[in-house]
Structure 1
Amino acid sequence: MASIDSFSAPALAGEMVDFSRFRNQVVLIVNVASQCGYTPQYEGLEALYRDYKDRGFTVLGFPCDQFGHQEPGSASEIQDFCSRTYNVTFPLFAKIEVNGPHAHAIYTWLKNEKPGVLGTQGIKWNFTKFLLGRDGQVRARYGSSTKPEELRPAIEQALDDAPADPQP
């Protein structure tokens, strides 16, 4: 059975990141965009990261330009925007695709592990969230409209290794 340990991706700065570095952590994976109505969620994602990182939690942000061309920037522009506007300190990765034939392997796996509403595979919009437990397995999938602060109970359960209640 695959887990997050099976994947890697280039960081926004270009270096390859082996996801085995997140072994035994609770991980929230989010496809992000700088010009989206949900972009203010960066603030909530950063708050989650800062509040829980010392307990073994991280947020992984994957910029994606597949939805309404809402992430048109270069890596340096994305980094500058996230740092300047939301003081983002959680890991950000190089721009990827989350749907279609060129979808990054981690997103193919995430979508297979936790399909969306009515079993749909595709990511519907920016800021779709996947919560992974310490075992590297996908525990829950959340739509774009789910605010980061709404995930606190599920994150705390995962940090305590209690089964999280999957929510749509």
Structure 2
Amino acid sequence: MSGALAFTTKGSGQTGDFAYGLFFRKDTSKGNPQLEVMIWGANNSYPLGTLTTSNAITSGGVTYDLWEGNNDAAGYYVYTFIPHGTAGNSNALPAKGNVNVDVKAFLTSLQDLRASDGRYSNALYLQVVEGGFEVTGGMGTVSLSGSIAAK
């Protein structure tokens, strides 16, 4: 599964992250998600939880760290892959960019790193895939285009 997400931004003081969000369940129910896996690109905010693995995976020439924690408000656990060393940086978001990744490689890495925790496994059902900008502050506009290709 590969993802291609392109973005442009205009405005001031924008904070947040451009990311994919993959939502999983342990069954085929259409109920609320039970787990989320995020893959961030450009960002200037903090992911949920704590840093648990530095340099977890390299994809497309970018090395990612793994953060994780419980999203109490949503009621599920979240794993977030974020470009190494960028959590909470004070850099302005770029005016344009992309997040083009092999999503399957991240899921394989997560299986290798965390299957023993009992939260993620390749046996989960992928319920929803999203791509976009999570706004945490500022004013302006964001334009997005993207695709997900399942193989």
> Do the structures match in fold with TM over 0.5?
no
Shorter-chain TM-score tier? under 0.3
- The answer to which structure has the higher strand fraction is 2
- The answer to which structure has the higher helix fraction is 1
TM-score, normalising length: structure 2: 0.27
